[in-house]
Structure 1
Amino acid sequence: MQQLQKLPIKVIYVEDDETVLRETASFLEKHVQELYIATNGKEGLELFLNARPDAVITDFDMPVMSGLDMIKEIKKRHPETPIFVTTTFENDTLHLTRAIEYGITQYISKRSKPDRLVESIYDYFKNDERFSFSLKLSYEGKILSIGEKFAFFLGYTPEELLLEPIELLIEPIPHIHNRHFLKRLEEQKDIEYAHCIFRKRDGSDLLLSGSAEFSVSGNEKIYTTRWHPIDSIVKTNKEIKGRLVKEGYLKSLMKFHAEISQDIITAFTVEEFLLGFIEKLPKISVGTLGFLMLMEGTSLKSIICPSYPGLSLKSMIQEPIDLNDPQSEKEYLPCSLAARHNQMVFVDDISHLPDTKLKKMLVQNCIVTVISIPMKIKLLNRPAGILTLLFQENHTFDKEELNLWQNIANTVAFGIESIKARLERDALIIKLDMMAHTDKLTGTINRHRGMELLEHEIKRAKRYRHPFSVIYFDIDHFKKINDTYGHTTGDKVLVKASETIRKNLRATDSLIRWGGEEFLIILPETSLEDAIHIARKLRERLERRSADIPVPITASFGIATWRDDLTLDALLHLADIKMYEAKKLGRNRIAY
């Protein structure tokens, strides 16, 4: 996507899909001044009436009030408001026809990238008079007036620029004095289309396009100009003055930089992120190849490289490169030097490299230029690794391109650290979640989590009219085991019992330690008859002797099946009663 100037507009974005909302809103915030979010048509309409935005973006299919109904209400009140529809139903001719009848501006497929939506909005607003910049000059080139929006855009207030020379704002062009621009105005009277380089207060340059008029009011000659950002903002004065060929390449680099920043968010592993990065290099420019090596201690290891035809880099750099080994034949490789000194190393002619198998292979594959760039970690005086670029044509670098590549390499380093941190955080969250829901001794579900599962199962049973049962069991004579053999043996009994039960349950069943020697089993989609069969099997498995436990383990089982008239407490009470019936019958029994 071409880099667009941020539009000074208010936009309401209405979307109920959280993933789409998060990704698209993040993109929109970079391109519009103010962004308001709503998750259904009702919220969107209320926001519209309160905020009076310049544009609305909406989906069709949403809860509470559909996007189509919201569009209808907005157009009734303010028919001039541009509305952009994002949809996955491009073939839904009924909705699209009605939306067009209501007067939508454009519809964009959600399958398109977010920049397609931004370009559509930009195309709509770029010629709107409200967003152009006004500037009036005297014949002598003094600023008579400047629009507040324009002044703020350049980093000033209108009062600061009043009667200042235009040279403060317009970048001088070699061989063309700024007075030439004013003279051209006087001679031509009107200029329908012009380009001019403006200098912002922070020193950055900006190319604007616009129109100009010359007029005489009494004895005063006045130049009235209006400007707006051109579609492609050229970053530096040098690019404007002669590097048009390289402009496309630099844009590709900037787009590439933006893409890998997004890849950091979506990649599941560091390896996936790095391989994806390297595989994209040839897309920037034909003949651009590369590989990555990661730092581990004082060595370069873990080469990340796709399979280039005829260029087996992995086979050439199989062994780690020890940066402290002065005898290594790889000591003077660009990647080694870049890692050792934490600086870029540029070789414009690989014939200057020492004779190695790697150099021979590079020559055979027409590699002419090599540059190795440290992937710097902020606040650390060492790189995360080295990015090495290989060019099959002679490649010269200017300062801006080198800065772009260094920023890209640093972003890769940031990506490595971020993904590692995210994976560690996710693992910790999973561990903490498991700890919060797990009984420490037996590894079964704890009572708090068990109550949540029971409440969920009752809601599901009510909704789908499906049965479920619970088995409440208690280890027989457990107090006697503790008193006779000690609590260590008692703990072993609990662990062994829970392991035995868990091994003989279905994947959908849940084993919960209810307290002490009492356990509860939730059996989804299970009738009383099936629950009895399961309980019999569990009782038989449990009473088998274990070599490391000196006493037999048995339990008494109570079964209850959920009915419409049973509350959660009533269901548990019924299972508890049945379990005590089993105890009264002589233990090691089942009651239902």
Structure 2
Amino acid sequence: MSQQESAPVPPTGLYVNPVGQRRADFQHACAALFDGLRVADGAEQAAAMLAQGPSAVLVLDLERFELGIDLPALGELVASRNGAPVLVLCPFTNARWLPALMQHGPLDYVIGPLPADETRRQVEARLQAGFEAPLEPTAAEAELAALLAVRTEAQAALQEADDGIRFAERLCAALLRWPGLVHAAVFGLHEGGDLRLDAQHGKPGLDLAAVLQRRERLLQSPLRHAFPGLLAASSGEAALLDALDKAGEPALAAVLREQGVQMVLGLPIPAPGPGAPRGALCLLFDHARPFSRAQLTACDDLAQLAAFGLRMADLMRESEELLGRVTHLATTDALTNVANRRHGEYLMEQEIKRARRYRLPLALIAFDIDRFRAINDSFGHPVGDMALRVVADTARSLLRSSDVLVRSGGEEFQVIAPHTSAIDGLKMAEKLRAAIEAAEIPGCDHVTVSLGVAQLGETESGDSLAVRVNAALARAKRAGRNCVELAMQ
């Protein structure tokens, strides 16, 4: 057999892209590789051309196609090939096309943008290789097994989902089980609508905050259009940079190469509802590699798992905040913002137990506003409410951090004073009386209070202590008000 007879016969080809100039550029660069090259502006025209005569190789250039609009037609075109060679030219800014098209049939892909000579070289290499699978079956199985191990570790990270940052850090550490992955990071969208580097883990010395020249407000970074992690978080589309120079940022490419990075994958972390994603996973590899459909699906699963973990962290935080608000409403008087009667009774029992255990003195001060009904009758309830708030604020400003002010009734208050004897309680009560008398109250000038003081007895209950201090308060009222009385044992 002669050398001419053994030379491979160039196949026929069909190139599909909606932009006329791109079709002309591809024809100029690659027409000589085919025994007849046809071009089509979309899936409908391509299907019509294939119906007139088959093409051995289909080249889909996804630049300017819209995933949400064109996927069904292009997917049907891939499915109609029945396993015949399909080469996809995919822009690095929208790698989500790849798993979507792979659901319709086998294909090979090249990440763009590429200059004309590189496009020719990539197409020629695949024509000569006969469009072999990107990975041998055994290698693909091993790679997928590694990804499954990564997913298992990532699922274990959900144990830290009570805290978003801690979960993100553990997730990054889990992702590094993927062979070839040298660095993983989580970018999160926060209040104010901007992006922040929440966590990163990987190669020592590789700090994405230094690479991107900032840790916060990353959507304002000049590299937001080039770095896949930022692209995925801002656009909601996966971004795959399999050759660093394709991003058009030589300085960025040089910095990453210095750290041993050759490929970057950005995966958007979906939000629970419509709208912008809540962040992105950013994976940095030490070499470029093709991805199979199963691997890209596993990557999407990891992004979904990250979204689930971060949402769990949000729910835990929201639950804690809600519990705090409910607890505040259940234990705090709405008008004066001091402890309410029920919570005051609970705190009193706790302080009694502590005083008994450590043999410490405990005092209780009870006071109420003199002639408070007259204030409401003369000046109205809004002025009465203002008087209650001023009295509470004045008393609270004089108390120690260990003391507790309680609104025990309408115009009645109590002060639980740990580590306080009867004598010290009298001094505290006199300070309260003088300060409240001097306080100015809008609408009614001044008010006075009458006070009773009691010290907890050795075997006394909280109810008994309350009875004694209220009796002392009643004596203060009978003595002419605006005075302090000490409870009898």
TM norm structure 2:
0.62
C-alpha offsets along residues 515-537 of structure 1, whole Å, 9 cap, x if unaligned? 11111111223221221222122
Q: State the partner residue of 2:150.
A: 253
Which amino acid in the other structure matches residue 259 of structure 1? A
Seen in structure 2, the aligned counterparts of structure 1 residues 527 and 340 have a Cα distance that, compared at 3 Å, is closer
Q: State the partner residue of 2:23.
A: none
Q: Does 1:444 align with 2:338?
A: yes
2:212 is paired with a residue of what secondary structure?
helix
Q: State the partner residue of 1:425.
A: 319
Alignment of 1:145-224 (within 5 A): none
Structure 2: gaps of 5 or more residues: 1-134
Q: State the partner residue of 2:388.
A: 494
Q: Does 1:412 align with 2:309?
A: no
Q: State the partner residue of 2:125.
A: none
Alignment of 1:39-438 (within 5 A): 246=143, 249-250=146-147, 252-265=149-162, 267=163, 270-278=164-172, 281-282=175-176, 285=179, 288-295=182-189, 301-304=195-198, 306=200, 309=205, 312-315=210-213, 320-321=218-219, 330-331=224-225, 333-335=227-229, 338=232, 342-377=236-271, 380=274, 383-438=277-332
Seen in structure 2, the aligned counterparts of structure 1 residues 554 and 304 have a Cα distance that, compared at 3 Å, is same
Distance 1:535 1:381 in 2: 59
Which amino acid in the other structure matches residue 345 of structure 1? A
Distance 1:282 1:476 in 2: 71
Q: Does 1:508 align with 2:378?
A: no
Distance 1:379 1:480 in 2: 57
Is contact 2:160-2:166 (8 Å) kept?
Answer: no
Is contact 2:150-2:175 (8 Å) kept?
Answer: no
Which stretch of structure 1 is more off in the superposition, 365-374 or 429-438? 365-374
Identity rate of aligned residues, in percent?
27
Q: Does 1:524 align with 2:422?
A: no
More strand by share: 1
Seen in structure 2, the aligned counterparts of structure 1 residues 346 and 590 have a Cα distance that, compared at 3 Å, is same
Which amino acid in the other structure matches residue 196 of structure 2? S
Which amino acid in the other structure matches residue 455 of structure 1? E
Which amino acid in the other structure matches residue 205 of structure 2? P
1:293 is paired with a residue of what secondary structure?
strand
Q: State the partner residue of 1:588.
A: 482
Q: CA deviation at 1:251?
A: 5.8
Seen in structure 2, the aligned counterparts of structure 1 residues 281 and 247 have a Cα distance that, compared at 3 Å, is closer
Q: Count residues in correspondence.
A: 348
Q: Does 1:458 align with 2:458?
A: no
Is contact 1:281-1:288 (8 Å) kept?
Answer: no
Distance 1:387 1:277 in 2: 10
C-alpha offsets along residues 141-163 of structure 1, whole Å, 9 cap, x if unaligned? xxxxxxxxxxxxxxxxxxxxxxx
Seen in structure 2, the aligned counterparts of structure 1 residues 469 and 339 have a Cα distance that, compared at 3 Å, is closer
Which amino acid in the other structure matches residue 568 of structure 1? G
Distance 2:275 2:337 in 1: 45
Q: CA deviation at 1:478?
A: 1.8
Is contact 2:232-2:268 (8 Å) kept?
Answer: yes
Q: State the partner residue of 1:50.
A: none
Distance 1:313 1:475 in 2: 65
Distance 2:372 2:400 in 1: 26
Structure 1: gaps of 5 or more residues: 1-237
Distance 1:564 1:403 in 2: 71
Q: CA deviation at 1:305?
A: 5.4
Seen in structure 2, the aligned counterparts of structure 1 residues 305 and 315 have a Cα distance that, compared at 3 Å, is farther
Is contact 1:239-1:247 (8 Å) kept?
Answer: no
Is contact 2:184-2:283 (8 Å) kept?
Answer: yes
Q: CA deviation at 1:548?
A: 3.8
C-alpha offsets along residues 21-53 of structure 1, whole Å, 9 cap, x if unaligned? xxxxxxxxxxxxxxxxxxxxxxxxxxxxxxxxx
1:474 is paired with a residue of what secondary structure?
strand
> Which one of the candidate residues 455, 462, 465 is aligned to 1:568?
462
C-alpha offsets along residues 391-431 of structure 1, whole Å, 9 cap, x if unaligned? 12233434444333322221111222221222122112111
Which amino acid in the other structure matches residue 154 of structure 2? H
TM norm structure 1:
0.52
Q: CA deviation at 1:496?
A: 0.9
Distance 1:496 1:449 in 2: 21
1:416 is paired with a residue of what secondary structure?
helix
Distance 1:492 1:437 in 2: 21
Which amino acid in the other structure matches residue 314 of structure 1? L
Q: CA deviation at 1:460?
A: 3.9
Which amino acid in the other structure matches residue 160 of structure 2? D
RMSD (Å) for aligned C-alpha atoms: 3.5
